[in-house]
Amino acid sequence: MILNFFDAIAEGWEFIIALGSMMGFLGLVVGILGWMFLGQFQRHKMIGVIVVSMILLGVCGTYTGLKYFHIY
């Protein structure tokens, strides 16, 4: 019974890390597109989005989300 609990906790952490990886990919794409097509004031915000997305990808891993959600 206790081992099932720890397995559920491990699966939850794996899901959170994979979700963070996918959010990092999405933020990077949106940040680059926003930086290219938006005005000067929004460009500064998009640079912040790109930096946060790169940190998120560095922490969660770049391949984790693709492997977890079976996106090839």
Contact 24, 60 (CB under 8 A): yes
Distance between CA 48 and CA 60 in Å, rounded?
18
> Is the whole-model pTM more than 0.95?
no
Residues 6+ apart with CB under 8 A from 67: 18
Q: In this structure, what token pair is assigned to residue 62?
A: 């770049």
Q: How many residues are recorded in the chain?
A: 72
Average pLDDT, the chain: 86
Domain residue spans of the chain: 17-68
**Res. 1 pLDDT band, cuts 50 70 90:** low
15 φ, ψ (degrees, to nearest 5): -65, -45
* pLDDT at residue 72 tops 70: no
DSSP 26-39: HHHHHHHHHHHHS-
